[in-house]
Structure 1
Amino acid sequence: MKKALLSLTGLIVIAAIAWFTLSPSIFEKQTNMIDGKPLPGIRAEAQELHDSLFIVDLHSDTLLWKRKITDSVDYGHVDMKRLQQGNVGLQIFSSVTKTPKGQNYDSNSAETDNITLLAISQLQPFRTWFSLFERQMWHMTKLDRAVADSEGQLAAMAVSDNVTALRSLRQSEREQGTQPRTIGVMFSAEGLQTLEGNRENLEKFYNAGMRMAGLVHFFDNELAGSMHGEEKGGLTEFGREIVRDMEEMGMIVDIAHCSHACVADILAMARRPVVSSHGGVQAVCGVNRNLSDEEIRGVAATGGIIGLGYWDGAMCDTDPKSVAKAVLHVRDLVGIEHAALGSDFDGAVTTRFDTSGIVHVTQALMDAGLSEEEIRAVMGGNALRVLEQGLIPLLQLPEENPELDQSGESGQ
């Protein structure tokens, strides 16, 4: 009996070890996929132009998964090596902290959460298991560690000076006859339910490195209604306070996932450029999470940008030609200066290519008849402008802020 009990205990321990070791990567391999549909060969002139670009991607959810950005893997969409292969100059990494069971684009309750089980199965610190605030802080710690482990190949973007310096550094690397290796990284949030109702937590997030945030994700919260929530309301008074605080401290407001009422409220009060970090336009793909023409005009009126994604929920397919079609719509409606990239890589989506293959977007824009100047703007120039306008300069940082050193990088 004793031997049988010991054997059973051993089997349970082995099963538990296997679960915690293998299940996170197995789940991700089944979640962040490439559909394998055909892609055209890349022409020499497209590759040459692509290699000369400064590329910015406004949205990737890589921090959600149990792997290091600095590790090269053969699954998912983003890691440091593939960013370099794709010539990405600046990647914004977003933090997903809660998603509803049965997640869909139409209506979701805030009562359930899939990420708690994921946090436990990944053996994240215990404090993250039942606190959205701590989950957010953990994702910022992961990004800080990636920067520290990158041997200078990843650089944190905390103030506008960092963005300007990165431009110069990558240009210098290119002038030396080498493909640029230094990649800027910035932290964003997918929904500020992580504030847990406490306005003071926003400053804690800023001090830890957050520089952009969407107010909601797939459900309504105490700040605003989600396009995918049950009520789909506008900004609450708490939400208005947070938008004002974000703009004042130099944190970019992201309207992705906001309800129509929420988008209208934010655009009406915005004093800095607003972004839609990842999604599409209803004129190309008529799903409810995409922007109407009126909303595109509203973002443009703030000087902001629309980050266009590569998955079927944003484009109704995964063909790079659809991304180009969406870019053309934004250009013709409000001007090329308001179109940008927002992949949603590693966001539980299926795409045609990973970040090493962004050259397919460059070629699709060429094929659509865009000029070199327009392509440079869409692929990164517009985003760089908004980041430099939305973040504060180093000289404006409060002197009493102990979390930021003189380089403007997070001290955590």
Structure 2
Amino acid sequence: MNLQPEGVYPFPLSGEEEERAKQLHEQIIIIDLLFQGPLSPKAIPAHVSDHLREQCEPYRDQPMEYSMMPAKLIKGMIARGELAEFKEEWYRSGITAGNRELDLSSPESVVTSMGEVQRQFDAVEWLDKALTAGDIREAKRSGRKAGIVTAQENDGLGKNLDLLDTLHHFGLRILQLTYNNQNYVASGCMEPADGGVSKFGERFIGRMNDLGIIVDTSHCGKQTTLDACGISVHPVIASHTGAEAIYGHARCKSDEEIKAIAATGGVIGVFAMPWFVHGDPKDTTMEHVLDHIDYIVRLVGVDHVGIGTDWPMSDVEWALVHFKEHVAPMLGFAKGDGPSTETVKGLEKYSYFINFTRGLIARGYRNEEIAKIMGGNWLRVFEQVWG
């Protein structure tokens, strides 16, 4: 499908509706709660990609390192101010706040990733660490951007609950109970045994509640999601998922899970992962993503839907191909499944993010409803849990 001009998805909008979308997108607070951007392979210059490949070539026989190193090197370039595209893409996207992710998969990665994340906040003068909902509102008022510290796994913490206090002090505000597989806390969505939350996991969620760290169930199994909703005294979320009824993938949530999350006052963030929202990843469009949003709105109401794109990555294409072929199977993905080079048509770059606003207008949503889906619902949960 041809996008003319660049990045404008062909929704059937009138000139008046296009102007409405432009003004609304500029006015509202927009939050992407699985924000891998603002860069994407199509936003990273070819000469940068080639240079990174040369630097990584000595690690070709180490699949994990070879696949992950370009993204790390890109972070270093950002910290040194060597990628102007980082600021350009973020500001063109209109996104007010997006997550900055810690890696808590091992004790070593906990320390390393804390340093990397803090380095970005220290180096990027227009990016603020969001510790409260008010920080996000202030970023919007002042023309700055906000980063929300999150993590998708917690294996590196072992059973030391005190480390949650340390991480919260650092700025951690959202934490997933498990990533696909089984850990001390709970069962993931790729586990054959849908074991739910463990006894230790109950204590873990209790400490998260006490600290004001939001419980994220995106990669969790069905029973884990239901258990978490029953245990947590604060709203539970799924920062990046889809509706199983629209596309039956293990990464999507059943109606029962969606209803349970909504019943806590939580929000279901819809992702833009071509492999998880539609049967043909090579022909997945914004319309398919909007189908998931529409379904969840009809099921539980407009107050419980948000956006957590999770794609595209701030990475280069050759590393993504290598990741899918050699690393994804080690992380619990089925052979041939998981991230690669495909993108949702209409979201090849984060600077095309207005297509969400345009698409919601095309689907008949009112301005106040669009404001909720694009960020207001996330902000409501943040205000309730963080203050």
Q: TM-score, normalised by structure 2?
A: 0.74
Q: Give the structure 2 partner of residue 145 of structure 1.
A: 119
The number of residue pairs the alignment matches comes to 309
Aligned partner of residue 98 in structure 2, secondary structure: strand
In the alignment, structure 2 segments of 5+ residues that lack a partner are 1-5, 39-67, 315-338
Q: Quote the RMSD (CA, aligned, Å).
A: 2.5
- Deviation digits for residues 200-230 of structure 1, max 9, x if unmatched? 2222222222111001112211111111124
Matching residue within 66, 89, 94 for 1:87: 94
> Percent identity between the aligned chains?
27
Q: Which residue of 1 aligns with 2:220?
A: 258
> Would the aligned equivalents of 2:290 and 2:359 in 1 still touch at CA under 8 Å?
yes
User: In the alignment, is residue 156 of structure 1 matched against residue 126 of structure 2?
Assistant: no
Bigger relative CO (Cα 8 Å, ≥ 6 apart): 2
1:59 maps onto 2:25 in alignment = no
- Cα distance in 1 between the residues matched to 2:36 and 2:163: 22
For the 8 Å contact 1:215–1:223, the answer to whether it is kept is yes
How many angstroms apart in 2 are the aligned matches of 1:59 and 1:142? 18
- 5 Å-filtered alignment, 1:4-43, equals 39-40=9-10, 43=18
Mapped partners of 1:148, 1:258: distance in 2: 33
Q: Which moves more between the two structures, 256-265 or 323-332?
A: 323-332
Question: 2:358 maps to what in 1?
Answer: 363
Whether the aligned pair in 1 keeps the contact of 2:177 and 2:185 (CA below 8 Å) is yes
Q: Once the 2 structures are TM-superposed, how far is the Cα of residue 361 of structure 1 from its aligned partner?
A: 1.2
The counterpart of 1:386, out of the listed 368, 381, 387, is 381
For 1:197, the equivalent position in structure 2 comes to: 159
Larger Rg: 1
The SS at the match of 2:194 is: coil
1:139, 1:37 → 2: CA distance? 33
Between stretches 238-247 and 45-54, larger displacement belongs to: 45-54
Q: Which runs of 5+ in 1 are unaligned?
A: 1-35, 99-131, 174-179, 394-412
SS at match of 1:272: coil
Shift of 1:199: 2.0
Q: Provide the C-alpha distance between the structure 2 equivalents of 1:279 and 1:313, rounded to a whole number of angstroms.
A: 12
1:295, CA displacement in angstroms? 0.9
Structure 2 matches for 1:6-405, cutoff 5 A? 39-40=9-10, 43-61=18-36, 65-66=71-72, 67-68=74-75, 69=78, 71=81, 73=83, 79-96=86-103, 98=105, 132-151=106-125, 153-158=126-131, 160=132, 163-171=133-141, 173=142, 180=143, 182-316=144-278, 317=281, 318-345=284-311, 346=313, 348=339, 350-352=342-344, 353-391=348-386, 393=387
Deviation per residue, 1:152-183 (Å, 9 max, x gap): x111112x3xx224314523x4xxxxxx3x11
CA offsets, 1:238-264, max 9 Å, x none?
A: 111110000110100000111111111
**Structure 1 letter corresponding to 2:111:** M
Equivalence for 2:54:
none
Is the Cα contact below 8 Å between 1:140 and 1:187 reproduced in 2? no
Shift of 1:86: 0.5
Q: Per the alignment, in what secondary structure is the counterpart of residue 33 of structure 2?
A: strand
CA separation of 1:134 and 1:250: change in aligned 2, threshold 3 A: same
Deviations 1:357-387 (A, max 9, x none): 1111111111111111111110011111111
Cα distance between partner residues in 2 of 1:229 and 1:390: 30
Q: Aligned partners of 1:135 and 1:95: how far apart in 2?
A: 8
